[in-house]
Amino acid sequence: MKKTVILGALTVAGLAAGAASAGTLDDVKARGKLNCGVSTGLTGFSAPDANGVWQGFDVAVCRAVAAAVLGDPMAVDFVPTTGQTRFTALASGEIDLLARNTTWTFSRDVDLKFEFVGVNYYDGQGFMVPKELGVSSAKELDGATVCIQTGTTTELNLADFFRVNNISYEPVPIETNAEAQQQYLAGACDVYTTDASGLAATRASFEAPGDHVILPEIISKEPLGPLVRHGDNEWGDIARWTLNALIAAEEYGVTSANIAELSAAPGNNPEINRLLGTEGELGAMLGLEADWAKKAIMANGNYGEVFEKTIGENTPIGLSRGLNAQWTEGGLLYSPPFR
């Protein structure tokens, strides 16, 4: 308790003068902890390790924001949320930021009064089938039994896809991903459909992953991103630009290995200088310290490093970058300029 108070006091003392802002930012600083909503468990995105420390791709966003605001990536209280409780938790102020593989949709953004601060993972719904079925396209799945999680957008997408292609299917409703794995392996359904990242993680956990194929069709757009409450734009800006800083850092080649060197003195790339606070006043504009982005990047590395560590090709999940590559490499990641 004392420690966090001192930490909070230090952070407040270290602020640039006149950077007064109201609302969430002040609350977080006063508390000395960021309350971050995550999934109760989604492979690669958020899960506690054996020591109870939360790890994952979504968790990394929380840690980066905490590092940017409080200077300490570990100053996060993770609030596990389920699909039902996540939005209420955010709306009621129980959490400051929700980073829980939440699809950015119109109604969530507008009607539920949230603000998506960006996209940290472009996902889409896919299909997995046993290889021995000999199916190479989702359009050949006429009459198939499909394992599907109930009450999700996946269910609606599936119905749309089969209707558009004028083929029929038989749904096998399941509750959790773990149950789906058991049902699918036991042969209760021919096809398992969920987000492609989830399919990859599920397939990786099988005894013989090679016996199963993920079909090429991606039937929906699932841009997953962190979100905050409507109406506190300063806080929204901090979350948005922390995510952008991670993405931009990868674009400019700022990694956790060279960041100490790059931030020691202004270099010859003005964009990097502004990002890392060796030049310009970007931190003060956000109400943060000048080296906010440096701390955010040092928390877990830049976007590419986080990706590689948590869900990338060297992990058991083995996702390729695909749509989540930088725009310079044919992906969709595109951070607005830091100036």
**Positions in the binding site for other proteins (CB under 8 A):** 1, 39-52, 55, 77-82, 84-85, 88-89, 91-94, 176, 178, 181-182, 201-202, 204-207, 315-317
User: What is d(CA 302, CA 33) in angstroms, rounded to the nearest whole number?
Assistant: 22
CB-count burial class (<10 Å; 0-12, 13-18, 19+) for 16: middle
Q: Which is nearest to 240 in space by CA: 177, 285, 193?
A: 285
Q: Which is nearer to other proteins, 192 or 292 (CB)?
A: 192
**Shortest separation between residue 204's beta carbon and other proteins, angstroms:** 7
Q: Which is nearer to other proteins, 48 or 71 (CB)?
A: 48
Q: Which residue lies nearer to other proteins by CB, 89 or 117?
A: 89
Residue closer to other proteins (CB basis): 144 or 147:
147
Q: How far is the CB of 94 from other proteins (least distance, A)?
A: 6
Q: What is the largest CA-CA distance in the chain?
A: 66
Instruction: For other proteins, give the closer residue by CB, 59 or 249.
Output: 59
DSSP H stretches of helix in 171-286? 177-185, 196-204, 233-251, 259-264, 270-276, 282-286
Q: Shortest Cβ distance from residue 93 to other proteins (Å)?
A: 5
Report residue 223: phi and psi, to 5°.
Answer: -75, 110
Least distance CB 49 / other proteins (angstroms): 6
Q: How far is the CB of 48 from other proteins (least distance, A)?
A: 5
Instruction: Please state the closest distance from residue 231 (CB atom) to other proteins, in A.
Output: 12
Distance, CA of 53 to chain centre: 17
- Six-digit token string for 219: 């039937």
**CA 240/CA 233 separation, integer angstroms:** 10
Q: How far apart are CA 136 and CA 236, in angstroms?
A: 43
State which residue, 1 or 164, has the beta carbon closest to other proteins.
1
